[in-house]
Every structure is written in C-alpha cells, then in structure tokens.
Amino acid sequence: MRYSIEGEPLPIVICELDNGEMITCEGGAMAWMSPNMKMETKSGGVGKLLGRAFSGETLFLNHYTAEGGPGTIAFTSNVPGSIRAFQVSPGHDIVAQKNAFLACEAGVDLDIFFQKKVGSGFFGGEGFIMQKLSGQGMAFLEFDGYCKEYDLEAGQSIIVDTGYLAAMDSTCSIDIRTVPGIKNALFGGEGLFNTVITGPGHIWLHSMPIPQLAGALVPYLPFKN
C-alpha cells in the first residue's frame, strides 16, 4: 500500500492499494474511492463486538478490498487537525483515544485497552477504555488541532490537561494527579485532575480536543427556548 496525507488543517489520507489488498476503517470515514473497491461490513467476532460496544465505539467496521486491479480510497478527518501514519509491529503497539482511529491495513488488530489504574480512567480525561493497535501494518490516526510529539525517557513524566493526550506507545503509563490547593482546583480553571504520562515511550498530544472545541463554541451558538 502507498499513501499520501494532504490538506492540513483539513487533512485527508489517500491510499493506493494493489489488487487484493484490504484496508479497514470506521463507518463514515471513506470520502471517495475507485469503482473497483469492494466494501464489506464486519464486526470482527463476538468478543470484539462486545468490546467495541462496551467502549462506546461503533459496533462494525468497514473493510475495502481492491478487486481486479489497483484501487484508490481516501479517508478524511472529522474536525480540523492532523492525520498521522503509524507503522504498527510486534512490540510496537499504539494506545490511542478511542475516537482517534481512522483506518488501518488488514494486519493491524484493534482491541480495547483498559487503564491499569481505575482512577486514571474515571478522572484522567482519557476515558477508562482506550484503543490499542497491535499486529503488523500501517494505521492512520486523526488528531484534533495541531499535533505535538514528545519522547519520554524511562521514569520521565509530563503533566497533561484533561483530554489532550491523543496517543502513546504502549510502554508508557497513565496516572492522575489532583490539582494542588483548594483555591487552584476551584478557581484555576483547570479542573480537579490532571493526567500524568510516564515513559519510556513516544506520546502524541493534540491542541484542540473536540470537547474543548465544543465548549469554546457554546457562547456563540444561538440557542432557542
């Protein structure tokens, strides 16, 4: 498979598949494709169906296969931001927010990823369940706004405001930290908890998570009684 990512901050990834190659995506991600791309909707088995239902994801994924020759298919992001390509391989798994997944090659497995510490899930802003990409192949994730990357050494940490963690290597860990001081927590505007990510591993942070974008737009929306 060959691909190109174009058009930020309204990005699109265009994939060129050889005959017989398949790519998987979330429902509604496909923007355009050549006529020889065959679509098939699958659940991935009972276990993964239940896992996706429990995580709040769509229950089914769309699989597109090039038939009778090379095929072209394009996928778009939901909001202005970035699309990044990840080479997933054994020992190089990626953990991402569940709404970050866009598309992947057939060899990539999608599974739910539980936070080891319950508090990290309920209060850390990343959700109790994230999504884990493993196996072998290329995967595409979409991030909201600008994407900033950091490499964390073993034991090195970074404190991230709620919701700004987009993805991380599976070698990283997540915990939460309460904002110190009652005045800071109540009037500082940063909420009660922050997310602490500890290495070793690579992390991807996005600058405008959808909940923050929605909150910023609320004062300008014409609500009617």
Closest CA to 86 of 30, 147, 33, 45: 147
CB 63 within 8 A of CB 24: yes
Q: Which amino acid is at 11?
A: P
Contacts of 162 (CB under 8 A, 6+ apart): 124, 125, 191, 193, 194, 195
DSSP state of 92: B
pTM confidence score: 0.84
Distance CA 67, CA 35 (A): 9
Q: Residue 46: its pLDDT value, please?
A: 40
CB 133 within 8 A of CB 93: yes
pLDDT in single tens digits along all 225 residues of the chain: 999 999 989 999 999 999 999 999 988 899 999 999 999 998 754 445 455 555 555 668 999 999 999 999 999 998 899 999 999 999 999 999 888 999 999 999 988 887 655 454 444 444 557 889 999 999 999 999 999 999 999 999 999 987 899 999 999 998 888 765 554 444 444 556 788 999 999 999 999 988 888 888 888 888 655
The CA dihedral of 207, 81, 134, 89, to the nearest 10 degrees, is -100
Domain spans, the chain? 2-220
Sheet with 37-42, side-by-side order of all strands: 37-42, 61-66, 22-26, 101-105, 137-144, 81-88
DSSP state of 179: P
The class of domain 2-220 in CATH terms is: alpha beta
Q: Residue 44: its pLDDT value, please?
A: 56
Distance CA 19, CA 91 (A): 29
Q: Residue 1: its pLDDT value, please?
A: 95
- Cis omega (within 30 of 0) for bond into 9: yes
Give the tokens for residue 94.
Answer: 């990626």
How do residues 73-107 score in pLDDT, each as one tens digit?
999 998 899 999 999 999 999 999 888 999 999 99
Q: Residue 124: its pLDDT value, please?
A: 47
Q: Residue 179: its pLDDT value, please?
A: 67
Q: Residue 20: its pLDDT value, please?
A: 97
